[in-house]
Amino acid sequence: MDRRHLPGLGREVSAVGAGCWTIGGPATNRGVPIGWAGVDADEALAALVRAHDLAVSLYDTADVYGLGQSERLIGRLLKLVNRSRLVISSKVGYFAGTAIHPYAAAQMRRQLLTSLSNLGTDYLDVYFLHSSDFGPDDRYLDEAVETVQRLRRDGLIGAVGMRAPHEFAAEWATDPNHPQAAESARFLALFERIKPDVLTVRYNLLSPLYAPDETDVFSFARRHQVGLLLKQVLGQGLLIGARSPSSPMAFPAGDHRQGGPLFTATALRAIHAGLDQLCQRFGDGQADLTRVAVRYALQRDPNAVVLLGFRNARQIGSNVTCLGEPLSLEDIGAIQLAMSSVRDMLAASGPAISNSHQEHSA
């Protein structure tokens, strides 16, 4: 397993981290499905052990992933291994409990203590402000920032994280005609106030390409020396051919993918048109497509780390061991060409699909 120095964290981690939202299983938060159906806890624990055996040293979870189930599973792993060698990241900001807001100081402290108890550890290496909803007029923003600073001073957390938008360039924030102007400006304002050490961002084969004079999230992170964790690299299974346009797209209750705009037959047909081209060049096994998806993300930036979701040892095992040789520049050009046609097809399919770049609630 390659290792990378993650700016903002100040230490090396495995280039591929375990994204543990998926193993939390089905869940709802304020009535909204935020989980993954059909996850078996014993299989999930076996997957964590397999990841550890494969030298995965970063485990990303959140208080709302399975409403504590994901953290508790990692806690079972931590009983078996050397905790100090691992980087554990968790999050706060969606679950309000009985408080008036998830970012009320008392609620944040209560959530952190619950996360630490679930994990069976006394500190987190990274703590994310998961949601960018800080209440009306950002009423809880100062409280949230002051609370994470205090938690850090108390030695309960290390680095502080926040999410970046999927589509972002710093220049868009000041272009009133750009459709992403408001979201870009909001991110910049929150970044300035929170001063995070680490960002998490969706990045995969469907992510947009930027002009050389645009400051995308990678240039932005480099400029500010913050670490980047890349998520949805597998497109939640869609970019490795795990879903066929002809198979039903139904998900059981509690799975956030139910009704997701990319999990429709129309969107899948567009995606598969691109994947077919990739298969011709790279091979048509799922492992071939996984290698393409993960290498494409890893090679975007030498300081970024990829988070991969999984539900069992087979998935995490094949995801980590299939990476093979790096992609050539010609390979990357061919991937971008194939997937830009997919983006065009998705955009032409209507607003529901082209708006699919919205972040999920978890």
Ligand X SMILES: NC(=O)c1ccc[n+]([C@@H]2O[C@H](COP(=O)([O-])OP(=O)(O)OC[C@H]3O[C@@H](n4cnc5c(N)ncnc54)[C@H](OP(=O)(O)O)[C@@H]3O)[C@@H](O)[C@H]2O)c1
Amino acid at position 63, single letter: D
How many angstroms from the chain centroid is the CA of residue 213? 26
Burial label for 266, CB within 10 Å (0-12, 13-18, 19+), is middle
In this chain, which of 319, 331, 339, 353 binds ligand X, going by CB under 6 A?
A: 319
- Provide, rounded to whole angstroms, the least separation between the CB of residue 330 and ligand X: 25
Q: What is the 3-state secondary structure (H, E, C) of 152-207?
A: HHCCCEEEEEEECCCCCCHHHHHCCCCCCHHHHHHHHHHHHHHCCCEEEEECCCCC
Residue placing its CB nearer to ligand X in the complex, 105 or 249: 249
- Write each residue from 37 to 76 as x if it is in contact with ligand X (CB under 6 A), else as -, in one continuous string: -----------------------x----------------
Residue placing its CB nearer to ligand X in the complex, 135 or 235: 235
Residue placing its CB nearer to ligand X in the complex, 46 or 175: 46
Binders of ligand X among residues 84 to 103 (CB under 6 A) are none
Query: Binding residues for ligand X, how many (CB under 6 A)?
Result: 26
Binders of ligand X among residues 98 to 157 (CB under 6 A) are none
Identify the bridge partners of residue 87 per DSSP, sorted by sequence position.
58
- 149 Cβ neighbours under 8 A, 6+ residues apart: none
Binders of ligand X among residues 216 to 245 (CB under 6 A) are 231-237, 242
- Write each residue from 279 to 318 as x if it is in contact with ligand X (CB under 6 A), else as -, in one continuous string: -------x--------------------xxxxx---x--x
- Provide, rounded to whole angstroms, the least separation between the CB of residue 176 and ligand X: 28
Judged by CB under 6 A, the stretch of 14-22, 100-108, 206-214, 261-269 that binds ligand X is: 14-22
CB atoms within 10 A of CB 170: 18
Residue placing its CB nearer to ligand X in the complex, 22 or 184: 22
- The DSSP call for residue 4 is E
Report the residue count for the chain. 362
Cβ distance 63 to 54 under 8 Å? no
- Provide, rounded to whole angstroms, the least separation between the CB of residue 244 and ligand X: 12
Judged by CB under 6 A, the stretch of 13-21, 46-54, 276-284, 348-356 that binds ligand X is: 13-21
- Provide, rounded to whole angstroms, the least separation between the CB of residue 96 and ligand X: 19
The angle that helices 313-321 and 286-298 make with each other, rounded to 10 degrees, is 60
Residue placing its CB nearer to ligand X in the complex, 14 or 200: 200
In three-state secondary structure terms, 255 is strand
Distances (CA, A) of 284 to 275, 278, 281: 9, 8, 9
- The DSSP call for residue 35 is B
Calculate the dihedral angle through the C-alpha atoms of 22, 24, 25, 30, rounding to the nearest 10 degrees: -110
Residue placing its CB nearer to ligand X in the complex, 22 or 180: 22
Residue placing its CB nearer to ligand X in the complex, 312 or 354: 312
* Cβ-closest position to ligand X: 19
Residues lying near ligand X in the complex (CB under 6 A): 19-22, 36, 60, 200, 231-237, 242, 286, 307-311, 315, 318-319, 359-360
